[in-house]
């Protein structure tokens, strides 16, 4: 079973400062001249952070960052909203298109540095195959599981709106993905709005029916963000990370069986077919973020504001964007 509960808190700014001061003190006291220890770049991850998982397991990013004097540290979170808004981590792995709406509404100091091309079928609203629920309209009065602030939160909100319903018409059960998986399997939920790889896992555990996916609602681009201060101070580190992500995406698609073998044990020894199904629905095509392509982000923001999921209207296109150096993207 997928276990996404291994949430670890990133090192605090105070602990990072202490580490830095310790090195400075050694120099001041005349310690023997040695090569400076690598500086850490903290990276947040989720179970769905496939490309960063590949870079971690293969050691690729550590190898690429070493000449720059950096070493990556990896921090797995069940929910990335808190570390993103708190600024506790330097670089964030991919998050669903809805997540930056919440961080922007919270005025988090984050810059977009890449996105993964859309994959609308990689998140869906599912019901047990034997359920009488056939359409989104049939969800009225039903208990629907969803992770607050996730891309699937938007899919559910948009699907309800399209069916002439609101969250007031259903009984939303706000559960993190692992909790939702257990509740859905045990029959505690009438429906579940979820993303891959949890979607593929649910499909493998029991017969399900998809009553809506992202098609016609969202392209489901996944965005990569970095702290404003970090990208300003270390643009070459961000460029190195960006190039490594592009290559990792190409590797996963060019080597599907090897990718499945790498990911299956990390995702809880899932059957290869489950991992392959999840990978088949994702593009893993990493590209620069273009401001002119953020119109869909605005649509998400507007739906969330109307549903009272964010406290204020925002201009979702008014965000800092980092671009890879010309000729090196």
Q: Specify if 93 maps to a domain.
A: yes
Residue 173 belongs to a domain with what CATH number?
3.40.190.10
What letter does residue 45 receive in the DSSP assignment? E
Does 112 lie in the same domain as 84?
Answer: yes
The predicted structure's pLDDT at residue 31: 40
Q: In what order do the strands lie in the sheet with 70-76?
A: 70-76, 39-45, 91-96, 222-227, 110-116, 286-287
- Tell me how far apart the alpha carbons of residues 90 and 309 are, in angstroms, rounded to a whole number: 26
Does 226 lie in the same domain as 115?
Answer: yes
Does 136 lie in the same domain as 209?
Answer: yes
CA angle 25/88/321 to nearest 5° reads: 110
Which residues, in sequence order, are CB contacts of 51 under 8 Å at separation 6+? 93, 94, 116, 245, 248, 249, 252, 284, 286
Q: Specify if 5 maps to a domain.
A: no
Residues 215/120, Cβ–Cβ less than 8 Å: yes
Does 143 lie in the same domain as 110?
Answer: no
pLDDT per residue over 11-54, tens digit each?
444 343 333 333 333 333 344 444 568 899 999 998 889 999 99
Q: Using DSSP bridges, classify how beta strands 222-227 and 91-96 pair: parallel, antiparallel or unpaired.
A: antiparallel
What letter does residue 33 receive in the DSSP assignment? P
Residues 317/299, Cβ–Cβ less than 8 Å: no
- Tell me how far apart the alpha carbons of residues 327 and 329 are, in angstroms, rounded to a whole number: 6
Q: What's the distance, CA 117 to chain centroid?
A: 13
- Tell me how far apart the alpha carbons of residues 163 and 34 are, in angstroms, rounded to a whole number: 66
Q: Integer distance in angstroms from the first to the last C-alpha of the chain?
A: 37
- Tell me how far apart the alpha carbons of residues 291 and 159 are, in angstroms, rounded to a whole number: 26
Does 102 lie in the same domain as 131?
Answer: no
Does 109 lie in the same domain as 39?
Answer: yes
Q: Specify if 8 maps to a domain.
A: no
Number of domains in the chain: 2
Residues 138/126, Cβ–Cβ less than 8 Å: no
213, 231, 247 — which closes off a domain? 213
- Other CB atoms within 10 Å distance of the CB of residue 308: 10
The domain containing residue 175 runs over which residues? 120-213
Q: Specify if 275 maps to a domain.
A: no
- Tell me how far apart the alpha carbons of residues 99 and 112 are, in angstroms, rounded to a whole number: 12
Tens of pLDDT, residue by residue, the chain (329 residues) = 333 333 333 444 434 333 333 333 333 334 444 456 889 999 999 888 999 999 999 999 999 999 999 999 999 988 888 889 888 899 999 999 999 999 999 999 999 999 999 999 999 999 999 999 999 999 999 999 999 888 899 999 999 999 999 999 999 999 999 999 999 999 999 999 999 989 999 998 899 999 999 999 999 999 999 999 999 999 999 999 999 999 999 999 999 999 999 999 988 878 899 999 999 999 999 999 999 999 999 999 998 998 888 999 999 999 999 999 986 55
Q: Specify if 300 maps to a domain.
A: yes
pTM, whole model, 2 decimals?
A: 0.81
Burial class (CB within 10 angstroms; exposed 0-12, middle 13-18, buried 19+) of 10 = buried
């Amino acid at each position: 079973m997928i276990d996404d509960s291994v949430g670890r808190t990133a090192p605090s700014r105070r602990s990072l400062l202490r580490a830095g001061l310790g090195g400075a003190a050694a120099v001041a006291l005349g310690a023997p001249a040695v090569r400076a220890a690598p500086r850490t770049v903290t990276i947040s991850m989720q179970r769905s952070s496939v490309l960063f998982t590949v870079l971690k397991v293969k050691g690729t990013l550590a190898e690429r960052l070493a000449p720059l004097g950096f070493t990556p540290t990896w921090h797995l979170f069940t929910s990335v909203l808190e570390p993103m808004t708190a600024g506790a981590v330097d670089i964030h792995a991919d998050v669903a298109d809805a997540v930056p709406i919440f961080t922007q509404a919270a005025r988090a100091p984050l810059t977009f540095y890449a996105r993964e091309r859309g994959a609308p079928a990689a998140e869906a609203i599912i019901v047990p195959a034997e359920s009488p629920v056939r359409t989104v309209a049939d969800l009225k009065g039903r208990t629907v599981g969803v992770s607050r602030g996730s891309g699937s939160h938007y899919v559910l909100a948009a699907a309800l709106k399209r069916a002439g319903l609101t969250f007031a018409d259903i009984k939303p059960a706000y559960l993190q993905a692992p909790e939702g998986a257990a509740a859905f399997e045990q029959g505690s939920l009438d429906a579940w709005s979820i993303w891959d790889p949890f979607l593929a896992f649910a499909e493998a555990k029991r017969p399900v029916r998809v009553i809506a996916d992202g098609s016609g609602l969202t392209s489901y681009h996944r965005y990569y963000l970095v702290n404003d201060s970090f990208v300003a101070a270390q643009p070459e580190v961000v460029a190195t990370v960006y190039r490594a992500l592009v290559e990792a995406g190409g590797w996963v698609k060019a080597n599907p069986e090897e990718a499945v073998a790498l990911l299956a044990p990390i995702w809880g020894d899932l059957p290869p077919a489950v991992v392959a199904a999840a990978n088949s629905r994702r593009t893993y095509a990493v590209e620069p973020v273009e401001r002119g392509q953020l119109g869909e982000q605005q649509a998400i923001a507007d739906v969330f504001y109307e549903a009272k999921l964010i406290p204020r209207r925002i201009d979702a296109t008014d965000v800092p964007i980092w671009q890879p150096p010309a000729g090196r993207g």
